């Protein structure tokens, strides 16, 4: 018999409401998100992920990126504190700013590492250096950062967000094998890596190391656009900062992302809406999907 897979729908989300700060609390109560993202070739990933974290409701956002693009990112996301690191990631451990980055990792409730970052050992070395310092945080590893599991299983709870191509690279499975048994592949990877795995696609499966799973079928082909995955990861980081668990943040973000795509398709058409437009749909959708008493806050 196949293990139970919980289907994600509006009823599921309303029975699983997100943490909501009280009306008299300040931005600290909405949490701190740390997003480490971008490189000279793909600076927009940091902007997309940071904007999504803000639309998810985080109180304080810090973006960490490479020095050559940091000023532009700071202007594009004026709500964020922006930390500039060397363009050469191999120099990060020796940088004067590394101590500041470690301190920020220790204070954040939601940490996202990877969108738009350069692939290679230098990035993975930074991931391994930072993970032990993320003491209070739910951690999302995306894009290049996910390859740390090819070195060894992670020693703390993290969430990985691969699409099929990334999953094939991380596991050594062919895309055809993944298409035939995506649920089994996600469950096996979660157990082997000791991580929550959100295998993204038209049907997204979220699997835990303990064998639990949640699935969502929906969205549309318009979401298959550059930068779309960065917005999902940013939403997750923002919800983690607000106090959601790894699985809850992933489930809500996957559903919100797909629902935002449906709204944008109705407005603009199935093809041609932009990844940068996805997060702007999220606050209204969160209010719509939350139980009425919680949404009223």
* pLDDT tens sequence across 15-48: 999 999 878 777 887 899 999 999 999 999 999 9
Please tell me the distance from the alpha carbon of residue 222 to that of residue 236, in angstroms, as a whole number.
Answer: 20
* Within a domain: 54: yes
pTM: 0.95
Torsion angle, alpha carbons of 53, 54, 56, 59, to 10: 110
* Residue 222 and residue 261 in contact, taking contact as beta carbons nearer than 8 Å: yes
Residue reference for tokens 């250096």? 129
Q: Tens of pLDDT along 189-233?
A: 999 999 999 999 889 999 999 999 999 998 999 999 999 999 999
Please check the confidence at residue 1 and state whether its pLDDT lies above 50. Answer: no
Q: Of 229, 232, 248, 230, which is closest to residue 240 (Cα–Cα)?
A: 248
Greater confidence (295 vs 3) lies with 3
In a domain, 1, yes or no: no
Rounded to an integer, what is the distance from CA 99 to the centroid of its chain?
24
- Domain that residue 108 falls in: 6-17+28-290
**Is 293 a residue whose pLDDT tops 90?**
no
Q: Is residue 297 part of a domain?
A: no
**Percent of the chain with pLDDT strictly greater than 90:** 87
Residue 71 lies in a domain: yes
The sign one gets for the Cα dihedral 151, 152, 155, 159 is: positive
CA neighbor of 200 nearest in space, from 242, 155, 232, 237: 232
| Residue 61, domain member (yes or no) | yes
For 129, 133, 231, 236, 259, the CA distances from 102, given in Å and listed in that order, are 9, 6, 24, 21, 35
Write b or e for each residue in 263-291: b if 16 or more Cβ atoms lie within 10 A of its Cβ, otherwise e: bbbeeeeeeebebbebbebbeebbeebbe
CB contact at 8 A, 171 and 185: yes
| 227-250 pLDDT, tens digit each | 999 999 999 999 999 999 999 999
HEC secondary structure over 164-179: HHHHHHHHCCCHHHHH
Considering only CA atoms, which of 242, 275, 287 is closest in space to residue 53? 242
CATH value at residue 61: 3.40.1190.20
* Inside any domain, residue 150: yes
Taking only the tens place, the pLDDT of each residue in 70-93 is 999 999 999 999 999 999 999 999
Is 175 buried (19+), middle (13-18) or exposed (0-12) by CB count in 10 A?
exposed
Q: Is residue 114 part of a domain?
A: yes
Residue 214 inside a domain? The answer is: yes
| Averaged pLDDT of the chain | 94
Express each pLDDT in 255-279 by its tens digit. 999 999 999 999 999 999 999 999 9
* Alpha-carbon separation of residue 252 from 31, 66, 117, 157 (angstroms): 17, 30, 25, 18
Element (H, E) at 148: none
pLDDT higher than 60, residue 296: no
Across the chain, the runs of DSSP E, i.e. the strands, are: 6-7, 32-36, 60-66, 81-85, 110-113, 138-141, 158-160, 196-199, 203-207, 213-217
Number of domains in the chain: 1
Q: Which residues pair with 140 in a beta bridge?
A: 112, 159
- The per-type count for the chain, helices as H runs and strands as E runs, is 12, 10
């Amino acid at each position: 018999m196949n293990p139970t897979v919980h289907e994600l729908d509006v009823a599921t989300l309303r029975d699983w409401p997100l943490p909501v700060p009280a009306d008299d609390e300040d931005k600290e109560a909405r949490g701190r998100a740390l997003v480490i993202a971008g490189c000279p070739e793909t600076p927009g990933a940091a902007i997309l992920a940071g904007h999504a974290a803000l639309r998810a409701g985080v109180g304080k956002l810090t973006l960490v990126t490479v020095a050559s693009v940091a000023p532009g990112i700071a202007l594009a996301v004026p709500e964020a504190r922006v930390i500039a690191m060397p363009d050469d990631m191999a120099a990060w451990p020796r940088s004067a700013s590394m101590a500041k980055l470690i301190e920020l990792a220790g204070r954040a409730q939601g940490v996202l590492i990877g969108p738009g970052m350069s692939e290679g050992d230098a990035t993975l070395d930074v991931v391994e250096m930072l993970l032990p310092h993320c003491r209070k945080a739910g951690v999302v590893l995306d894009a290049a950062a996910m390859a740390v599991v090819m070195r060894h299983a992670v020693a703390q709870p993290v969430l990985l967000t691969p699409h099929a191509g990334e999953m094939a690279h991380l596991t050594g499975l062919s895309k055809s094998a993944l298409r035939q048994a995506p649920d089994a592949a996600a469950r096996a990877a979660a157990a082997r890596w000791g991580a929550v795995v959100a295998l993204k696609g038209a049907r997204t499966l979220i699997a835990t190391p303990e064998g639990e799973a949640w699935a969502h079928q929906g969205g549309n082909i318009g979401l298959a656009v550059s930068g779309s995955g960065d917005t999902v990861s940013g939403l997750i980081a923002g919800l983690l900062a607000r106090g959601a668990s790894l699985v809850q943040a992933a489930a809500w973000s996957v559903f919100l992302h797909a629902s935002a795509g449906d709204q944008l398709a109705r407005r603009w058409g199935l093809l041609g809406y932009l990844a940068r437009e996805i997060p702007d749909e999220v606050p209204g959708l969160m209010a719509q999907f939350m139980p009425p008493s919680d949404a009223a806050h």
